[in-house]
Amino acid sequence: MSHSFDDISAQLKGRHRRTKRLKFMSMGALALAATFLVVFIGDMVMRGYPAFQQAELHVPVTYSEQSQEIPLAAVEEDVRDLVSRGWLRQLPRDMAADASLMGQTIDRWVIADDQVDQYLKGHKSHLKPKQTAVLDRMIENGTAELKFNINFFTTGDSKLPEYAGIWSAAMGTILTLLVTLAFAFPVGVLTAVYLEEFAPDNRFTQAIEININNLAAVPSILFGLLGLAIFINFFGMPRSSPLVGGLTLGLMTLPVIIITTRSALRSVPDTIRQAAFGVGCSRWQVVRDHVLPLSLPGILTGSIIGLAQAMGETAPLIIVGMVAFIPDAPTAITQAATVLPAQIFTWAGEPEQAYVERTAAGILVLLSVLILLNAAAVMLRKKFERRW
């Protein structure tokens, strides 16, 4: 050996330095991922928060027979193209609903056009100089203001950005997820119970297990092809409906629920089962009265996580036609509907800045719900987790 002790000591410094380098590089990688998350969420918030505000104008509205015929006549000429056309279209219906309005002139806040909205938010707008002059005066008088955008939460999709909201998509999401849950939860839990508590360890059981693991890794878009070919073309279920979407997502969520339920069942110690068998319970009685209640928190946690995953899924729903223009909230699972992520996708395709805002705002709502769901799952686990 030609290396003297001093040589080795000298090398050692370099070797330890390399360890340090690896440590910092790996730390950097983690920091990079975390930084991305922060940048990403920051970007979404910056883009999305303006959509929670909407410009409104304080103008005198004349309710007369003329304005019932031609709604434009209800407001003064200089603000006619500043108020939302959607609001003007609604005017005759308002008058029909409330006869006492007739013949009055009321000063009231009115939803503004999306270009006015963009102008007030300091973005680029297509307003003409004359219009901006009127607007500037109104801003000074305090008769043009940004107010909380309640419409975003209470209306469905619209071709007018100032009236586009997430209500119908939210209802669609709820209906779809109800179908998903109604299908995937019982089937998933029963499958897991069978595999964990009843099934003999034979080839059939192994085939099911391998199959479930594969199913968990199949790209989601292929579930969409399945939904299209089987549910819509073969069974003739209505296209774009929460029924088809929910079943498709249910099949996709199934492996998640099965896998988490199995690990929850496995965490119940065998002594519990043996004690129950010892006092003469049948297998089903053991499962129903002891194993299932003890593993319920784990099962629910897994189901919530699976549901959160299904909630953010878009690709299979596009294939089964759930990206449609749906202004009204669906009331049954067989009606055409859209879901939140699909609504986000639709808006993302619109070029107007007002829709970009709404896309990001929709994303913020979706992310908040997902975070809430996941937090609920974590709390559930923390609260009921039992160490045996």
Size of interface with another protein, in residues (CB under 8 A): 89
Q: Are 84 and 163 in contact (CB under 8 A)?
A: yes
The answer to the question of residue 323 lying near another protein (CB under 8 A) is yes
By CB under 8 A, name the one of 45, 215, 296, 336 that touches another protein. 215
Q: Please, which residue, 96 or 378, has the CB nearer to another protein?
A: 378
Q: List CB contacts of 127: < 8 A, sequence separation 6 or more.
A: 115, 116, 119, 135
Give the nearest distance from C-beta 380 to another protein in angstroms.
15
Evaluate whether 328 touches 161 at the Cβ level (below 8 Å): no
Q: Which span sits near another protein by CB under 8 A: 80-88, 104-112, 161-169, 355-363? A: 355-363
Window contacting another protein (CB under 8 A); options: 57-65, 70-78, 123-131, 221-229? 221-229
What contacts 24+ positions apart, CB below 8 Å, involve 102-105? Answer: 102/63, 102/64, 102/65, 103/63, 103/64, 104/62, 104/63, 105/60, 105/61, 105/62, 105/63
Span near another protein by CB under 8 A; candidates 107-115, 124-132, 292-300, 341-349: 341-349
CA 103, CA 64: separation in Å to the nearest integer? 5
The residues near 147 (Cβ < 8 Å, ≥ 6 apart) are 53, 54, 55, 56, 109
DSSP output for 259-308: HHHHHHHHTS-HHHHHHHHHTT--HHHHIIIIIHHHHHHHHHHHHHHHHH
| Smallest separation (angstroms) from another protein to the CB of 226 | 5
In the window 61-90, what residues touch another protein (CB under 8 A)? none
Nearer to another protein, 28 or 293 (CB): 28
Q: Map the footprint of another protein across residues 17-46, applying CB under 8 A.
A: 18-23, 25-30, 32-34, 36-37, 40, 43-44
Decide if residue 174 touches another protein (CB under 8 A).
no
Interface with another protein includes 283 (CB under 8 A)? Answer: yes
Q: Please tell me whether residue 268 binds another protein under the rule CB under 8 A.
A: no
In the complex, the smallest distance separating the C-beta of residue 79 from another protein, rounded to whole angstroms, is 33
Which residue in 45, 139, 146, 370 binds another protein (CB under 8 A)? 370
Which of 62, 143, 220, 335 binds another protein (CB under 8 A)? It is 220
Give the ranges where the chain is alpha helix by DSSP (H): 5-48, 65-69, 85-97, 114-120, 129-141, 151-154, 167-193, 203-217, 220-226, 242-266, 270-278, 283-286, 292-311, 315-319, 340-348, 353-384
Axis crossing angle, helix 353-384 with helix 5-48, rounded to the nearest 10 = 120
Residue 190 interacting with another protein (CB under 8 A): yes
Distance CA 283, CA 381 (A): 27
Is residue 325 within the footprint of another protein (CB under 8 A)? Answer: no
Report residue 98 as tokens. Answer: 């409330």
What is d(CA 180, CA 248) in angstroms, rounded to the nearest whole number?
Answer: 8
Residue of 47, 85, 262, 358 interacting with another protein (CB under 8 A): 47
**Shortest reach from residue 174's CB to another protein, in Å:** 16
Task: Name which of residues 141 to 170 contact another protein (CB under 8 A).
Answer: none
| Subset of residues 107 to 126 that bind another protein, contact rule: CB under 8 A | none
Q: What residues numbered 291-320 form the site for another protein, per CB under 8 A? A: 308-309, 311-315, 318-319
State which residue, 88 or 184, has the beta carbon closest to another protein.
Answer: 184
- Placement of tokens 């974590």 in the chain: 378
Nearer to another protein, 113 or 357 (CB): 357
Determine if 49 is a binding residue for another protein (CB under 8 A).
no
Site membership for another protein, residue 185 (CB under 8 A):
no
DSSP symbol at 325: -
> In the bound complex, what is the minimum distance in angstroms from residue 379's beta carbon to another protein?
13
Nearer to another protein, 96 or 222 (CB): 222
